[in-house]
Structure 1
Amino acid sequence: MSDDADAVEDGSAGDPAGAGSQTTEPVLYDDLSGQVALVTGANRGIGREIATNLRDLGATVYAGVRSVTYDLPDGVRRATLDVSQEGDVQDALNTVGEEAGRLDVLVNNAAVGGSGEPLHETRTADLDHAISVNLRGPTLLCKYALPPLLRQETPRIVNVSSGMGALDEPQSGGSPDYRITKTGLNGLTRYLDGEYGDQGLIANSVCPGWVRTEMGGEEADRSPAEGAATPTWLARFRDGPGGLFWRDRSVIEW
């Protein structure tokens, strides 16, 4: 299992005609001092970069990682967390609450890649694992994180998705487990916005592009820092749109 999410291939559409111009220009926090963030899969790749960025902005950052042995960025706190285990999710949120007393930002980044095979050749065990980590895990994290998030003035959830889950793109080339779960993650974002947006929650999905990580491979055209740029930007929203799918700070089609 990988502890960072990234687009396995750069399959996202560009900014659709007029989409960026139809959204309100966000107001950003320049300083996150006093705020608390939980980033899953923060020991490497995109997640590590996001955690480092939020730390540098002044936030208290918890890294949700599966092992106590994983190396973390300096100054980032550990929350041992396998997102596929509901008990771990509850324990991690309890740790954040007991130690920090609040939660302002949740970044659902941890994920596993696809099998690479078409659906009729994909093992059921691989499908189950991807659903558990890529979709059920973020849903459970939102379930338990929403109560402390909604107590804050500007709660944010950033779901690290992929263009491979975009319905506007041709869904071919294998990896049905990855594609379907990322489409589902986008559905979670839309639900969160519809259900909790009027309570102040700003929930967005983001495609980081094709990133050079363990999941993305060495041939990918983006560095982890480049992949983390837009998720970090979304985590800084003080006043801005939610319920959207972003790439390179522009709205893309679902």
Structure 2
Amino acid sequence: MTITLITGANKGLGFESARRLLALGHDVWIGARDAGRGRTAAAELGARFVPLDVTDDASVDSAAATLRAEAGRVDVLINNAGVGGGGSPADQLTAAEVQRVFEANVFGPVRVIHAFLPLLLAAQAPSVINVSSGLGSFHEMTRSEWAPFGSVAYSSSKAALTMATVQYARAIPAVRFNAVDPGFTATDLNRHTGTQTVEEGTDAIVRLATGGAGAATGTFTDRTGPVPW
């Protein structure tokens, strides 16, 4: 059975990814910083819960220890947890505001990958899926209609996450690392103004999570295919 850990999975894209992968036979662990919401989501889905705040070293290390003891490995790690914000006008933006966004969107996935890498390497065909965004694509932010929706903090954090994904894929070939753009999906992050359903927003995640040993690595895709960088 495929053992899958999803961070930030008590709602939105993480919750829907968990629901779909459970239906496909995965043994899904839901990571969430709010224990009450995480346990409720896990119970509703029939998943397992582990407390996990991606911005806290001790929390991430504790989650890794729990899965090491109870599962022994992780086949698929989905770094879904992230924040919006950082939307102040550029001439008013502070370093502290940018740091808060990067702490969750960049340092969080790096922290989780570092802690869970031994468990990934214990799997036969390990995969890491980082949930990035088209708002971090240079192409989308300079040549498409989405350009006005970018922001200094959020867009740069997602660009950094996508590049980190590529570099991990190059440096650790034993693990497949890929980034996905869920698209403009209706979630709390955009106050449910998105035009896609959460099922559509998780298509790329599920495709990569079920791709097996022959799947690609070092890619950035959405539900329709490659995302221009």
TM-score in same-fold range (> 0.5): yes
2:227 equivalent to 1:252: yes
2:79 equivalent to 1:108: yes
Question: Paired residues, what number?
Answer: 219
Question: 1:134 — aligned with what?
Answer: 105
Please, which of 171, 184, 187 is the counterpart of residue 195 of structure 1? Answer: 171
C-alpha separation in 2, matches of 1:95 and 1:63: 12
CA RMSD of aligned residues (A): 1.4
Q: Percent identity?
A: 33
Correspondence 1:1-254 to 2 at 5 A: 34-70=1-37, 71-72=40-41, 73-170=44-141, 173=148, 175-197=151-173, 199=174, 201-238=175-212, 239-254=214-229
Instruction: Using the TM superposition, name which of 39-48 and 70-79 deviates more.
Output: 70-79
C-alpha separation in 2, matches of 1:45 and 1:218: 10
- Aligned amino acid, residue 227 of structure 2: I
Q: Whose relative contact order is higher, 1 or 2, with alpha carbons under 8 Å and at least 6 apart?
A: 1
C-alpha separation in 2, matches of 1:66 and 1:228: 21
C-alpha separation in 1, matches of 2:140 and 2:89: 16
Asked if 2 retains the 8 angstrom alpha-carbon contact of 1:205 and 1:243, the reply is: yes
SS in 2 for 1:169: helix
| Unaligned stretches of 5+ residues in structure 1 | 1-33
What is the CA distance between 1:194 and its match in structure 2?
Answer: 0.2
What is the CA distance between 1:88 and its match in structure 2?
Answer: 0.8
| CA displacement 1:192-248 (0-9 Å, x = unmatched) | 110112x2x111100000011111223210111110111111111111211010011
What is the CA distance between 1:139 and its match in structure 2?
Answer: 0.5
C-alpha separation in 2, matches of 1:217 and 1:211: 10
C-alpha separation in 2, matches of 1:185 and 1:177: 12
- Aligned amino acid, residue 235 of structure 1: A
Q: Higher helix share goes to which structure?
A: 2
Q: Give the alignment's TM-score, normalised by structure 2.
A: 0.91
SS in 2 for 1:205: strand
| Unaligned stretches of 5+ residues in structure 2 | none
C-alpha separation in 2, matches of 1:120 and 1:157: 36
What is the CA distance between 1:80 and its match in structure 2?
Answer: 0.6
SS in 2 for 1:215: helix
Q: Give the alignment's TM-score, normalised by structure 1.
A: 0.82
